[in-house]
Amino acid sequence: MAFLRLLARTMGRISTFRSYQFVLLLAAALAVVAFYYFASEKQNFSSTTRRIKETQAGHNMNRNGPDLTVDIGLPHAAGAEERTEEEKDVKERSYHALMMFTKVDKNRSLQDKFRVAMLSLVKYGRFLEGEVLVLHFVCDQASKELGEEMLQEFLIDATFKYQVLFHDVSALTQKLFPIVESMQKHFSSGSGAYYSDAIFFLSVAMHRIMPDSLTRIVQLDLDLKYRENIREFQEFHRFPPGAVMGIAREMQPVYRHTFWQYRKENPQTKVGEPHPDGLPGFNSGVMLLDLAAMRASSLYNQLLEPEHLAQLAAQYRFRGHLGDQDFFTMIGMEHPELFYPLACGWNRQLCTWWRDHGYGDVFQLYYRCDGPVYIYHGNCNTPIPDD
Ligand X SMILES: *[C@@H]1O[C@H](CO)[C@@H](O)[C@H](O)[C@H]1NC(C)=O
- String of contacts with ligand X for each residue 267-286, x by CB under 6 A: --------------------
Which residues within the stretch 48-107 sit at the binding site for ligand X (CB under 6 A)?
103, 107
- Of 108-116, 128-136, 198-206, 277-285, the window that binds ligand X (rule: CB under 6 A) is 108-116
Number of residues that bind ligand X (CB under 6 A): 6
User: Which residue has the CB atom at the shortest distance from ligand X?
Assistant: 107
Pairing outcome for strands 282-290 and 348-349? unpaired
Give the residue with the Cβ less far from ligand X, 9 or 103: 103
Amino acid at 173: T
Q: What minimum distance in Å lies between the beta carbon of 351 and ligand X?
A: 11
Residue number, 6 or 104, with CB nearest to ligand X: 104
Ranges assigned E (strand) in 121-172: 132-139, 161-168
Tell me whether residue 44 or residue 189 sits nearer to ligand X (CB atom): 189
Of 113, 119, 121, 289, nearest in space to 201 by CA = 289
Per CB under 6 A, 113 contacts ligand X: yes
Sorted by sequence, the CB contacts under 8 Å of residue 69 that are 6+ apart come out as 61, 62, 132, 161, 162, 163
- Angstrom distance (rounded) from CA 233 to CA 228: 8
Beta bridge partners of 271: 279
Query: β-strands 132-139, 161-168: how paired?
Result: parallel
- In the complex, what is the shortest distance from the CB of residue 285 to ligand X, in angstroms, rounded to a whole number? 13
By CB under 6 A, the residues from 166 to 185 that bind ligand X are none
110 or 292, CB closer to ligand X? Answer: 110
As a three-state string, the secondary structure of 226-277 is ECCCHHHHCCHHHCCCCCCEEEEECCCCHHHHHCHHHHHHCCCCCECCCCCC
β-bridge pairing 216-220 and 94-101: parallel
- Asked whether 98 and 164 are in contact (CB, 8 A), the reply is no
If the CB atoms of residues 106 and 264 are measured against ligand X, the closer one turns out to be 106
In whole angstroms, the minimum distance from the beta carbon of 115 to ligand X comes to 12
Backbone angles phi, psi at 168, to 5 degrees: -80, 125
Closest to ligand X by CB, 25 or 121: 121
Q: How far is the CB of 247 from ligand X (least distance, A)?
A: 21
Query: Given the complex with ligand X, which of 110 and 146 has the nearer CB atom?
Result: 110
Of 112 and 232, the one with the shorter C-beta distance to ligand X is 112
Helices 169-187 and 45-57, axial angle in degrees (round to 10): 110
Shortest separation between residue 140's beta carbon and ligand X, angstroms: 13
- Can you tell me the distance from the alpha carbon of 354 to that of 257, in angstroms, rounded to the nearest whole number? 9
Q: Which of 110, 119, 156, 343 binds ligand X (CB under 6 A)?
A: 110
Among 40, 44, 46, 109, binds ligand X (CB under 6 A): 109
Tell me which residues touch ligand X (CB under 6 A).
103, 107, 109-110, 113, 381
